[in-house]
Amino acid sequence: MTPDEVINIFEQGIKANEDTGLRSGNLVSLAAVGDLMVAGDIHGHRRNFERVVSYADLENNSKRHLVLQEIIHGGPEDDEGGCLSFEVLIEAVKLKIKFADRVHLIMANHDTAFISNSEVMKNGREMNRTMRIAMQRRYGDSIKAVESAMERFLFSQPLAVKCPNRIWISHSLPAARYLDKFDFTIFDRQLKVSDIVRPNSAYTLTWGRKQSEKILDMLAEKLDVDFFILGHQVQENGWMSNNKNLVIIDSQHNHGYLCHIELTKSYTIDALIESLVRLAQIQ
């Protein structure tokens, strides 16, 4: 794929992100029709990405939605150790273009790190440098234009998806120490580059960890939801729950899971847990 073709894909992806009728500000709100698949962090795991897409089968399920997150940083490397996860991102963007109103890529912390070119570690490696070097080898003199298009695509992503059955999906939630300064209007207004810089609100939304039950209850009331489906926090077994209002899913390894929910159905936390699907069982 030539640099111009890659840039064109990202440009089309930006338009698809911005033009969907389900989006207002930085929030995608779904109707009580059909069902929804939610993948956790992908981090370049091509086979799991393919499993998620296969299971979703969007071609044959016209009322189905798919949420993807954190595609970049991890997975296969080139001959010199460069991260090739940008290849999986390109495939995800092509899927977004094809099913513009039904595929929703939400912003994650590794995305904000790429946009701002700040350090982000994974398995002892600084991932921005590792991926940018691989992209430099691939795209040569066109690297700056490709990087710019990719940064602008990642910046155009919504922050969260809200379901009609009171389920909220975002990469993470603000940690307690940032909550008193969190700007809840960020879901309604135009995103600014400064929002993704620590300690501003898109940063704290995507980087927060280990929210207490008290914080989750407060956020649920503020956002008018009952349950949260998040990614961000590595789960060796593929998922975890606080058995009250939180499910975290992880899709970046061989024990990964996705979540499959009906948009017309009311849920309990037990029913949400029962909706988890192990990716290894998908052909």
pLDDT band at 133 (very low <50, low <70, confident <90, very high): very high
How large a percentage of the chain has pLDDT more than 90? 96
Give me the pLDDT at residue 37, please. Answer: 98
39-70 burial string, b = 16+ CB within 10 Å, else e? bbbbbbbeebbebbbebbebeeeeebbbbbbb
- What pLDDT digit, counting tens, does each position of 190-214 carry? 999 999 999 999 999 999 999 999 9
CA 163 – CA 186 distance, rounded (Å): 18
CA 252 – CA 23 distance, rounded (Å): 27
Give me the pLDDT at residue 241, please. Answer: 98
Domains of the chain in sequence order: 3-281 (3.60.21.10)
Q: Determine how many CB atoms are found less than 10 A away from the CB of residue 17.
A: 24
Contact 42, 130 (CB under 8 A): no
Q: Tokens for 41, please give them.
A: 């962090």
What is the phi/psi pair of residue 77, to 5°? Answer: -125, 160
- What pLDDT digit, counting tens, does each position of 60-96 carry? 999 999 999 999 999 999 999 999 999 999 999 999 9
Give me the pLDDT at residue 113, please. Answer: 96
pLDDT band at 283 (very low <50, low <70, confident <90, very high): confident
* Residue the block writes with tokens 């910046």: 155
DSSP reduced 3-state for 65 = strand
Give me the pLDDT at residue 121, please. Answer: 87
